[in-house]
Structure 1
Amino acid sequence: MRTGSEPTTARSALRMRFWLSLWGVFWSIFGTAVFAFVGRPGWAAACGVLWLVITADLAMILRHMRQGPHFQPGPDVPPYRPPEHRRRPS
């Protein structure tokens, strides 16, 4: 059942993202080195920029992993329904 609160209750597979980021760092470093070696500075620069983006993402992933687990409702917890009527300030 969709409640509209999915973005706030979404979960991220941080370990999977961590390993995929490491894989991306490896290949972007490899691509930067190979393209620089064969004389393709444009492609080497593109791989270098990609390397920076992946490294920034990896830092964010590690930060989130170090923050530890936060409360995540399990499948047995019913979804939160926002109040239908809000009080108006008087």
Structure 2
Amino acid sequence: MLILRLLNLCYELTTLSIIVRAVISWIPNIDYYKEPIKTLIKFTDWILDPIKDLLDRFGLLTVIDVSPIIALFLINIVYKFLYRILIMFFIN
């Protein structure tokens, strides 16, 4: 089932990218405008920026950025939902 493998690959790459970006944010003196950091930021911004905007809108931005944790939680929910739908579609 190729589509399930592709879904799993997208899930793993996105999750790993968010985790790596969160870890990199703790490292001082990183140049965010050089590759591969620049590509990593572009790849994860589409997920993290809307969450940061929501946190800011509700006044929940803190010193510690919790948007990666929320993003991982939401991605996990979407992944499980899509996985179950695809399993039901291919089994029946």
Q: TM-score range by the shorter chain?
A: 0.3 to 0.5
Compute the TM-score of the two structures, normalised by the length of structure 1.
0.44
- Pick the structure with more helix per residue: 2
Compute the TM-score of the two structures, normalised by the length of structure 2.
0.43
User: Which structure would you say has the larger Rg?
Assistant: 1
